[in-house]
Amino acid sequence: MTDPRATPLHEGTPYLTERRVLAGVPVLIERPPEAADVRALCVVYHGAWAAKEGKLGVYTALAARGWAVVLPDAALHGERLGDAPADLNPREYVWQSVRGTVAEAPALLDALAELFSPLPVAVVGSSMGGYVAQTLARTEKRVTCAAALITSGVWQEPEVRRPDLRAWLEAQRPVTHADDLPPCTLLLASGDRDAVFPLAHHHAPTAAAYRAAYQRAGCPQRFREQVFAGVGHFTSRAMRDAVVRFLLAPDT
């Protein structure tokens, strides 16, 4: 064909974007034009008070290399913002969303397996999405690779007062349950100017817990950490590029 169909391109490679509702979760999917060409899945979770649309185009380098990049709305966010209970304070709202997003993830992965066939699964999450990514890396065995960005595993939340949410936090807190995560390959990435998650209080203790856990599991090479100079509380271009390289070659 001398004049192919016009499609979005990433460095000359075509991809397409589609919207679906899978297992009740609204998602956008960036993937190769032919579904049969999809060879891996990357589920990307956004931060608090954001929506799936904010991640459009961020990881299309993966779609150009045969991945389906799946962008869900987190629970109580995006198209589901109206589901948020009125009696939650802001921090409880965040953690109710995290808990709900984690709870619905297995059904979402089932639906993706039905859509594309069972494939390797990676998860990426920024900020609140990093809470989700760390938890799924521990609890969902189909997840073999995870990147947690501009986030924390400390989870000290004095403003979360609801007993059910406090119990969930205690049961899932990464720094006290880090031994559950290996052998999932993990990247922890932060900015050195992040005022929301200062390095000394969040990245440092989280990385220390993971480093020790992976050492005890006999696979220290499966945990990686990176700090980006001059980066605040956002996913920078260099951070995004590091995630893409990590996902394409997690064992190197």
- Structure confidence by residue, pLDDT tens digits, 31-55: 999 988 999 999 999 999 999 999 9
Helical packing angle, 90-116 and 163-172, nearest 10°? 60
SS (H, E, C) the chain: CCCCCCCCEECCEECEEEEEEECCEEEEEEECCCHHHCCEEEEEECCCCCCHHHHCCCCHHHHCCCEEEEEECCCCCHHHHHHCCCCCCHHHHHHHHHHHHHHHHHHHHHHHHHHHCCCCEEEEEECHHHHHHHHHHHHCCCEEEEEEECCCCCCCCCCCCCHHHHHHHHHHCHHHCHHHCCCCEEEEEEECCCCCCCCCCCHHHHHHHHHHHHHHCCCHHHEEEEEECCCCCCCCHHHHHHHHHHHHCCCC
Q: From CA 9, how far away is CA 102, in angstroms rounded?
A: 32
pLDDT value of position 72:
98
Is the pTM for the entire model greater than 0.75?
yes
Other CB atoms within a 10 A radius of the CB of residue 79 amount to 15
Between 28 and 6, residue with greater pLDDT: 28
Q: From CA 61, how far away is CA 71, in angstroms rounded?
A: 14
> Per-residue confidence at 1, pLDDT binned at 50, 70, 90?
low
Q: Which domains does the chain have, with CATH numbers?
A: 9-248 (3.40.50.1820)
Tell me the pLDDT tens digit for each residue of 151-176.
999 999 999 999 999 999 999 999 99
Q: What is the largest CA-CA distance in the chain?
A: 63
Percent of the chain with pLDDT over 70: 99
* Cis peptide, bond prior to residue 72, ω within 30 of zero: no
